[in-house]
């Protein structure tokens, strides 16, 4: 796994956190990267959107193009996912909703 040089937490609406992350030169953190930052105590134990997305019959990382137009990605069947922390443990959740006007929190990373 690549070493993380720096990171930033983006908060706002789902549509804007992915776009802002990419526009500021960061890459959306994966499930593993986000989990590692949480367990190392570098970011708070909260829920976070992650780089993995669900498209029919496949889970993969979101592309830069999809980050920049999340509404189009979701309207064509894509779904974002999140790492949820509920006090007693974590869940990996793929959203079943086809909306982008939900609150989002995403960790952006830069590598060494």
Residues 108 and 4: beta-carbon distance below 8 Å: no
Cα–Cα separations (whole angstroms), residue 61 to 30, 40, 87: 8, 23, 27
Residue 37 has what pLDDT? Answer: 94
- Number of domains the chain contains: 1
pLDDT (tens, 9 = 90+) of the chain, 112 residues, equals 689 999 999 999 988 999 999 999 999 999 999 989 998 999 998 889 999 999 889 999 999 999 999 999 998 989 988 888 776 777 767 665 666 678 889 999 999 9
Identify the pLDDT of residue 29.
Answer: 97
What pLDDT shows up at residue 6? 97
Q: What sign for the dihedral angle of Cα 48, 3, 23, 54? A: negative
Would you state the pLDDT for residue 99?
61
pLDDT of residue 83: 86
Identify the CATH number of the domain in which residue 78 sits. Answer: 3.10.100
Q: What is the pLDDT of residue 5?
A: 95
- The boundaries of the domain holding residue 103 are 4-111
In this prediction, residue 84 carries a pLDDT of: 81
């Amino acid at each position: 796994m690549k070493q993380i040089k720096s990171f930033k937490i983006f908060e706002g609406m789902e549509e804007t956190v992915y776009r802002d992350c990419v526009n500021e030169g960061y890459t959306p953190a994966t499930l593993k990267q986000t989990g590692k930052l949480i367990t190392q105590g570098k970011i708070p134990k909260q829920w976070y959107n992650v780089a993995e997305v669900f498209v029919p019959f496949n889970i993969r990382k979101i592309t830069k193009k999809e980050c920049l137009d999340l509404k189009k990605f979701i309207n064509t069947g894509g779904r974002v996912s999140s790492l949820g922390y509920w006090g007693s443990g974590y869940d990996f959740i793929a959203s079943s909703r086809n909306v982008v006007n939900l609150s989002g929190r995403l960790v952006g990373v830069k590598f060494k």
